[in-house]
């Protein structure tokens, strides 16, 4: 479903990615060059956050 930071508010999709990483609650993603993405399973209707290497 995309980057979890895109769901923060109406303007987050337009903000600088590195700035959002500082504020997203995942302290190591900026230093580790990772992006937190939201995944959704349409079979069991569950959501999961995964760290994706940039």
Over the stretch 1-54, which tens digit does the pLDDT of each residue have?
888 877 777 777 677 888 778 777 788 888 888 888 999 999 999 999 999 898
40: exposed, middle or buried (Cβ count in 10 Å: 0-12, 13-18, 19+): exposed
In this prediction, residue 44 carries a pLDDT of 96
In this prediction, residue 24 carries a pLDDT of 76
Q: Sign (positive/negative) of CA torsion 39, 2, 4, 18?
A: positive
In this prediction, residue 7 carries a pLDDT of 77
In this prediction, residue 21 carries a pLDDT of 81
């Amino acid at each position: 479903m995309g980057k979890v930071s895109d769901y923060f508010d109406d303007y987050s999709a337009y903000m600088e990615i590195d700035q959002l990483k500082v504020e997203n609650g995942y302290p190591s993603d900026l230093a580790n060059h990772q992006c937190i993405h939201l995944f959704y399973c349409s079979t069991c209707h569950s959501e999961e956050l995964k760290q994706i290497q940039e």
